[in-house]
Amino acid sequence: MVKICCLGAGYVGGPTMAVIALKCPDVEVVVVDISSNRINAWNSETLPIYEPGLDDVVKQCRGRNLFFSTDIEKHIAEADIIFVSVNTPTKTRGLGAGKAADLTYWESAARMIADVAKSDKVVVEKSTVPVKTAEAIEKILTHNSKGINFQILSNPEFLAEGTAIKDLFNPDRVLIGGRETPEGKAAVQKLKEVYAHWVPEDRILTTNLWSAELSKLAANAFLAQRISSVNAISALCEATGANVSEVAYAVGTDSRIGPKFLNASVGFGGSCFQKDILNLVYICECNGLPEVANYWKQVIKINDYQKSRFVNRVVSSMFNTVANKKIAVLGFAFKKDTGDTRETPAIDVCKGLLGDKAKISIYDPQVTEDQIQRDLAMNKFDWDHPLHLQPMSPTAVKQVTVTWDAYEATKDAHGVCILTEWDEFKNLDYAKIYDGMQKPAFIFDGRNIVDTEKLREIGFIVYSIGKPLDAWLKDMPAVA
Ligand code: NAD
Ligand code: UDX
């Protein structure tokens, strides 16, 4: 029986390994982590992450050929294939701070493998890493290896949160990069055989190591670039009376462009896009390519612009001040169908409104008060370090309250900001919400999910990203 060990039981390690275990009953999969809280949760009835379909997959194979453990050394020693799926955050200090990937967790994982391994191993980079990381890892492993043969593969993960199980069941492609030596090719084949249990062979792409590592950064940069492109156009739509949904549809029907990933929004969030583009920018700078670095930097600049443009629109619409006004925030997660708040645009929007002394009342169906308070108290880039996965007690931001009910959040509010596209926000009783609010009552739809015309009929002043503006908003132009 092939034995797999995965280091890192997070958003990638957990679901990915659960699906491998489900699809490969002849493979034993053990997911290990330095966080005992996380492992305990994976072994409990309440999994540490919310992901549609995940509970079902875990229930089918946990205890059969899927295990979660903190005994890292034992399972590394026993495994044939070791996936490393630890976090690779943006560095917060030192050389490359604010851009470069912090490989501390990756390096300590590699050192642990080198210390503990007693037989040959295939080591798979599952985390997103800078190009050439495999070379560094190879050096750590072979320098300490006592004659053991380590083969390093790059097998980046392309799942998106909220649709992780669907994406893993039916991936557009699985990418495996390896050394072009006989041993390297054999290792690629070994990993290919795992995926071939359920992924059609023509969707398993093999490349050299550096192409695989770079393809992951490039794919995320391209995806984020589409959002920044449509968001940039949304600002021009508001200035000219064009409608961004119509423009995106017209542009996306060109088969060379395609219709997906063109929804204008308050900005992209999530743990990957910003981190990976910053990483790409740093790699370009280190390789003497400042023009290329500046090109990609602009994707993040437009994203920051979009978030601050939204805050400015809220404040300017409400007579240029939100001081002591209650603003309801519907949705805090970075997208629907996840409880993940890493780099969610809601953090920047809330901080912007708090800067103008607003009182904020937040409702999200999956995010706890503790998480929201922690996010609002944390410094940029601190979120992705394991210390912060442990409980801590930040000083609660006093002007922020968190409720479990959209109607309570909006009661007596002057304005409502929709920051996540949860389906339930489409079907709220907006007439009831309007009745409970201060007048004039404003809705700022950061995800373009509500029926603007219906809300205007109820009496709301409505702002939707990139849509023709109400007369009210035209009279109070936001300063970008
Ligand atoms: P995560 O923070 O949810 O999980 C990482 C886990 O690794 C944590 O539980 C941490 O305790 C653990 N860990 C750290 N050092 C360890 C060690 N030495 N041994 C064992 N466990 C250790 O992160 P994630 O979202 O799962 O992302 C992991 C990697 O995958 C990152 O490089 C990320 O860029 C990449 N990725 C993420 C996504 C996504 O949607 N979240 C998608 C594709 C790729
Ligand atoms: C992304 C990539 O899609 C995935 O392939 C990679 O493995 C990890 O990073 P994820 O961040 O989980 O996945 O979600 P994604 O669906 O890409 O959304 C990212 C952000 O962009 C969200 O905040 C989302 O709301 C926003 N978005 C997405 C838009 O604003 N408009 C769109 O059209 C699409």
210 located within any domain: no
Concatenated DSSP letters for 246-271?
HHHHHHHTSTTT-STT----S---SS
Last residue of a domain, one of 139, 167, 199: 199
Write down the ipTM of this complex.
Answer: 0.98
Shared domain for 231 and 179, answered yes or no, is no
| Secondary structure element (H or E) that encloses residue 84, with its range | strand 81-84
Binned at pLDDT 50, 70 and 90, residue 391 comes out as very low
25 located within any domain: yes
Shared domain for 169 and 269, answered yes or no, is no
Q: Is 344 in the pocket of ligand 1 (CB under 6 A)?
A: no
At 11, list the tokens.
Answer: 């958003």
Shared domain for 75 and 163, answered yes or no, is yes
Choose among 139, 133, 170: nearest CA to 155.
133
6 located within any domain: yes
272 is catalytic: yes
- For residue 32, the cross-strand partners are 7, 69
Q: What is the dihedral of CA 87, 89, 93, 97, to 10 degrees?
A: 150
Shared domain for 357 and 467, answered yes or no, is yes
Q: How many CA atoms lie within 13 A of 215 on its CB side?
A: 19
Does 10 carry a binding-site annotation? yes
DSSP E strands: which ranges in 126-241?
150-154, 174-178, 204-208
Last residue of a domain, one of 133, 168, 199: 199
The CATH number covering residue 148 comes to 3.40.50.720
- For residue 4, the cross-strand partners are 29, 81
Residue that the structure tokens 């006592």 belong to: 146
Taking CA atoms, 299 is separated from 1, 71, 225, 275, 286, in Å, by 46, 41, 6, 12, 19
Q: How many CA atoms lie within 13 A of 337 on its CB side?
A: 12
Atom number in ligand 1 closest to CA 109 = 18
Q: What is the dihedral of CA 253, 256, 257, 258, to 10 degrees?
A: 50
Q: How many domains does the chain have?
A: 2
211 located within any domain: no
For residues 35 and 11, the answer to whether their CB atoms sit within 8 Å is: no
Does 478 carry a binding-site annotation? no
Shared domain for 257 and 388, answered yes or no, is yes
Q: Whole-structure pTM over 0.90, yes or no?
A: yes
Q: Is 75 in the pocket of ligand 1 (CB under 6 A)?
A: no
The amino acid at residue 62 is R
Shared domain for 279 and 424, answered yes or no, is yes
For the stretch 192-247, pLDDT in tens is: 999 999 999 999 999 999 999 999 999 999 999 999 999 999 999 999 999 999 99
239 located within any domain: yes
215 located within any domain: no
For the stretch 295-347, pLDDT in tens is: 999 999 999 999 999 999 999 999 999 999 999 999 999 999 999 999 999 99
For the stretch 178-193, pLDDT in tens is: 999 999 999 999 999 9
pLDDT at residue 426, rounded to an integer: 97
Q: Which domain holds residue 280?
A: 221-475
Shared domain for 304 and 411, answered yes or no, is yes
Shared domain for 268 and 128, answered yes or no, is no
Shared domain for 118 and 180, answered yes or no, is yes
For residues 125 and 136, the answer to whether their CB atoms sit within 8 Å is: no
Q: Is 340 in the pocket of ligand 1 (CB under 6 A)?
A: no
Mean pLDDT score of the chain, rounded to an integer? 94
Q: What is the dihedral of CA 436, 440, 446, 451, to 10 degrees?
A: 70
16 located within any domain: yes
Shared domain for 8 and 148, answered yes or no, is yes
Average pLDDT over residues 39-47: 97
